[in-house]
Amino acid sequence: MSHLTYEQRYTIEKLLSCGKKQSEIARLLSVNASTISRELGRNSDNRNGSYRALLAQRKYESRLIKKPKKVKFTQPLRQKVIALLKDDYSPEQIAGTLKKKENICISHESIYQLIWTDKKQKGDLYTHLRRKGRKYRKRGSNKDSRGTIKGRVGIEQRPKEALERTCFGHLEVDTIVGKNHKGAIITLNDLSSGMLWMKKVPSRDAEIVKNKLADMLDQIRPYIKSITADNGKEFAKHQDIADEYCDFFFANPYSPWERGANENLNGLIRQYIPKSSDILNIDEQYIRNVQEKINNRPRKRFEFENPIFMMQNLLFNSEIAFVN
């Protein structure tokens, strides 16, 4: 559809001053009635609602300037994308960030094409992808042999506001296991802001996990509302946590989607700590660096703001003291 010209806008102004209706103006200009309606809605004076051709033309030209432009994959842009890839941004995060921060419009599909072309040429850009190009494996058919947990409370009883994700303090917890099932990392995340905390433990013994989890919760004690875990036996001491901090809930067996946020974050962590990693030999500072890196990465669901920014907004719109 062609855009209205300045001459057509001048005609609209004069016809309106003569009392003509929108349908008549559309017929006289040989355009659709919705075109006139949209023109008046977009380009009338915001103060008094009047329509003037000169103001309407200026508004139209201003929008053209501000409109994101699709750009060619130039060498400078390519280097900018590669730098973000090497900082472990996903193609979708790169596209969203460039559009929001620099008004550059490039599709994530184009970035993937860059990665696959680089891989064919023996490059290593694909190694910065979360799954490094591997396909997903179907899950759910194997039985869980970890047994049941005494006194567990099902996720069905968790407050509805946890699903709404409108307030800080509804948490999910899980463990990432190391090579040969030696050592683990406790991962704790907030559902609303996406904030992540990580701590290493020498084993998944329930008492050890409970004590380390308590240390993590102490950082945000005033804000905690609930915790949800899977059915791992490392959370067998859940009642101690519930007595001290908040209600403790368990997802249903074979239902990882009920803890989708935590599952997703664990996947992000595996980019830096693969399943083959010997967690016992991983430095605590490295774990803190991974945590900081993930908390500073933009998220699509936050319109490409990062979890630290979201937590600040949800709590008190000021600097946060607890990010470690």
**Predicted TM-score (pTM) of this structure:** 0.60
For range 238-251, the mean pLDDT? 94
- Would you state the pLDDT for residue 70? 57
Separation CA 285–CA 217 (nearest Å): 19
Contact 173, 228 (CB under 8 A): yes
pLDDT at position 251 is 92
User: d(Cα 47, Cα 100) in Å, to the nearest integer?
Assistant: 29
Query: Residue 245 pLDDT more than 70?
Result: yes
Q: For residue 148, what pLDDT is reported?
A: 72
Backbone torsions φ then ψ of 186, nearest 5 degrees: -80, 130
- Mean residue pLDDT across the chain: 87
d(CA 273, CA 106): 30
Q: What percent of the chain has pLDDT over 70?
A: 90
Q: pLDDT confidence of 323, banded at 50, 70, 90?
A: very low
To 10 degrees, the CA torsion angle through 225, 259, 218, 311? -70
pLDDT tens digits, one per residue of 16-39: 999 999 999 999 999 999 999 999
Residue 231: exposed, middle, or buried by beta-carbon count in 10 A (0-12, 13-18, 19+)? middle
- pLDDT grade, residue 308 (50/70/90)? very high
State CA 62 to chain mean position distance: 31
What pLDDT, in 10s, does the model give residues 90-140?
999 998 998 888 888 888 888 988 898 888 898 989 888 877 665 444 444
Does the structure show a pLDDT above 50 at 44? Answer: yes
Residues 6+ apart with CB under 8 A from 120: none
- Spell out where 80-162 has E strands: 104-105
The pLDDT > 90 percentage for the chain reads: 57
Q: Which superfamily does CATH assign the domain made up of 155-315 to?
A: Ribonuclease H-like superfamily/Ribonuclease H (3.30.420.10)
Tokens found for residue 21: 């209706």
pLDDT band at 2 (very low <50, low <70, confident <90, very high): low
Parse the chain into domains and list their residue ranges.
Answer: 6-66, 69-128, 155-315
